[in-house]
Amino acid sequence: MKGGKNGLYDDLKRQILTMELDPDEDLDEVTLSEQYGLSRTPVREIFRRLEGEGYIDIRANRGARVIPMNHDTLRHFFLVAPMVYAAIGRLAVQNFKPKQLADLTDTQERFRRASTVNDPLAMVLENNRFHEIIGEMSGNVYLKASLGRLLIDHARIGHTFFRPKNGDMRDRLELAVGHHDGFISAFAAHDEDTVVDLVFEHWELSRENMEMFIAPQGMKADALVAMPTEDMERSS
């Protein structure tokens, strides 16, 4: 944990993206002031900055909380995300600067290393940064703001994707890494159609992974699991 205003800002963003702080969780202004060696005024300034970026919600007379996730926000997320990502991708091809493409490549290498050593927190943050850079490459302030808000929930809903527990999920993670490589190659070639095709392939992979998190396979009831064989035979 770093001290000061920058440390508080960076730590709260990281903790929200990685679900160390739960959606709707209250933020204690006094405790954070003590932890980061700050008076309450700079803590409130950080809260207002994070509220403007979509990470937290400040309620009158009730303080700050992590931005919640509910049925409406999830529905809007799934409806809008592919459209925003595709528009961002097209504009990024048209407007990116060489330095931004270099930053994207460096971020991808960090993401690849994190996936190789199975570091889920680093994967969440580097993946988020990868897509943030594409937003910056678009050069569009309106879409960049929308993308930033989408990426918060994208990270929170999909964070379990970066904790693969079986071979299938590991294969899906490697496919996501390959998509990132494809984005970089397509940007370098100024190939707008390929970027948009990759956007929808990458989104479909993400959507399937997020659906697994939101609606996991149900557990068997204990009564059925424990039922003796002869009881099952009598009931059949």
**What is the pLDDT averaged over residues 3-21?**
93
Angle at 226 between CA 221 and CA 228, to 5 degrees: 135
Q: Are residues 76 and 98 in the same domain?
A: yes
Q: Are residues 175 and 94 in the same domain?
A: yes
Q: Are residues 114 and 96 in the same domain?
A: yes
Which CATH number covers residue 23?
1.10.10.10
Q: Are residues 102 and 210 in the same domain?
A: yes
Decide if 164 is inside a domain: yes
Cα→Cα distances 140→50, 51, 67, 88, 115, Å? 20, 21, 24, 8, 30
Q: 194, exposed or middle or buried, with CB in 10 Å at 0-12, 13-18, 19+?
A: middle
Q: Which domain-ending residue is among 48, 66, 84?
A: 66
Q: Which domain-ending residue is among 12, 38, 66?
A: 66
Q: Are residues 207 and 134 in the same domain?
A: yes
**What is the pLDDT averaged over residues 187-196?**
98
Q: How many other β-carbons are positioned within 10 Å of the β-carbon of residue 55? A: 22
Q: What is the pLDDT of residue 211?
A: 76
Decide if 162 is inside a domain: yes
Ranked by mean pLDDT, which of 71-75, 77-81, 190-194 comes out on top?
A: 190-194
Q: Are residues 60 and 87 in the same domain?
A: no
Q: Which domain-ending residue is among 66, 84, 114?
A: 66
**What is the pLDDT averaged over residues 188-207?**
95
Q: 77, exposed or middle or buried, with CB in 10 Å at 0-12, 13-18, 19+?
A: middle
Reported as a single tens digit per residue, the pLDDT across 156-170 is 887 767 776 666 778
Q: Are residues 193 and 89 in the same domain?
A: yes
Q: Are residues 138 and 202 in the same domain?
A: yes
Rounded to a whole number of angstroms, the distance between the first and last alpha carbons of the chain is 60
Whole-number average pLDDT of the chain: 89
Which CATH number covers residue 160?
1.20.120.530
Decide if 235 is inside a domain: no
Decide if 115 is inside a domain: yes
Q: What's the number of domains the chain is made of? A: 2
Decide if 103 is inside a domain: yes
**Band of the pLDDT at 61, cuts 50, 70, 90?**
confident
Q: Are residues 92 and 105 in the same domain?
A: yes
Cα→Cα distances 220→90, 174, 211, 217, Å? 46, 31, 20, 9
Range of the domain at 27: 4-66
Q: Are residues 135 and 86 in the same domain?
A: yes
* pTM > 0.75: yes or no: yes
**Band of the pLDDT at 102, cuts 50, 70, 90?**
very high
pLDDT at 62 over 70: yes
Nearest CA among 18, 26, 24 for reference residue 151: 18
Q: Are residues 34 and 79 in the same domain?
A: no
Q: What is the DSSP letter of 190?
A: T
Q: Are residues 152 and 57 in the same domain?
A: no
Decide if 110 is inside a domain: yes
